[in-house]
Amino acid sequence: MIHKLQKPPDILIRSAILTQFASDERIANINLRVGVVNGIAHLAGVVSSIEIRSAAADLASDVQGVRGVVNRIEAPGAPSPGRSINLNFEINKENIDYE
């Protein structure tokens, strides 16, 4: 008989990540946001150091069922979690041939 291992539902993964955070003295009192979609943990919030940012990602990635971590936690010296996209394209009307 073959038994398939079922992956834990996202809500259980999120709960396990929050439990990990609560048990770590570096992160326990920081208001981090955690979401999980299809096993991918999404972390957000603001911390005081890049070390704490990395620790949060490490703790999340150690949770069973986590397939990846998107770390959007802001910290001094960390890469910007947001992206700026400029969609203001100028069209040079002189080069358009209207027939």
- The pLDDT value recorded for residue 74 is 94
Query: Which among 47, 48, 49, 71 has a CA at the least distance from the CA of 59?
Result: 71
Residue 98: CA atoms inside 13 Å, Cβ hemisphere, count? 3
* 75, pLDDT greater than 60: yes
Spell out the domain ranges in the chain.
Answer: 31-78
| Per-residue pLDDT tens over the stretch 10-32 | 999 999 999 999 999 999 999 99
Is pLDDT above 80 for 5? Answer: no
Say which residue, 58 or 87, is predicted with more confidence: 58
3-class secondary structure per residue, 43-66? EEEECCCHHHHHHHHHHHHCCCCC
Percent of the chain with pLDDT over 90: 69
Q: Is the pLDDT of residue 2 over 90?
A: no
User: Minimal CA–CA distance to 77: which of 48, 51, 55, 50?
Assistant: 50
